[in-house]
A and B are shown apart, each in its own frame.
Chain A
């Protein structure tokens, strides 16, 4: 079983970190996992994306150019770019706060999350990426809430950043509603 995921959005929306969190959870579950950023002389603050592959066997190329199983799209350009690369029956989780076109493709399942607006209500635009994790919890059985919390606690173990954990959890819970 191999799952190929793309996390994509504007720079600053935290898509690379989001991918890292999902990859870390999979690693802790004993899976083979790779995380690969797009790198290059791209404009800072422009689009950013990373590919995460989770598998039971050795992963060959960490680069995902096609057969995307899950797309986490934080904005419209991300949908435009990666929708044509989805596998049959793949899942698109879109941040409807920033997407403008309704996805009509029949070959993908669409999960709509009003992530940026929800994050704003929770108290910080910066946790919009965490709201998207609700899409994983509600629609897939890759991991559970406790797995996310474990990783967050490790990531934010510094005394100052520890305060951020409740905000992040609140964001995910708000996305679940």
Chain B
């Protein structure tokens, strides 16, 4: 019988610990496939954050290390700078990257670390129980904004790609989404480009991926994808914010 679909060997056999409808599984698959397609899996080191993807090092079938909350880019810099022929990527959520880890992510781009950053923006803290993130939308209800996020109290949501793009040594910044097949395919292309940039020593690349957290948002998986499109995308426009890497 012909095999029409199989799990990427870029993933281990460990069962994923993500909730139903969560986008992490999709993005894990895209990253894993990319590592296999580019034939870099065996020389890659994954840096996992603190957050829902804290166990990511158990899922990617390559060397992996777990970093302190927000510090993944610094850990990645320590590995990559001393092992320039290896591939290093961080996989971070919005609490990790856009809140506690702002210094580390900005300065990794600022130094021009030749690494790949996969940034999952689902506008909420998932693992700790659905608290407000810097990326939570105005009016969005979370366990620490029970009446909806108010601008006067918490400011407007942080636009990370827009913030990162002007950093001189950031080479490639793109925001994508995984709410439907067409956008999943676009995300795959962006991820691939972010790794190719590293292979070709072009420098710091980050893909911000709008992702669903149906449990944290208290909606069904279908409505979760709908909320990405109708809630997140109007505030977080998709697109390439910077591309100085050129063709790979």
Report A-B touching, CB under 8 Å: no
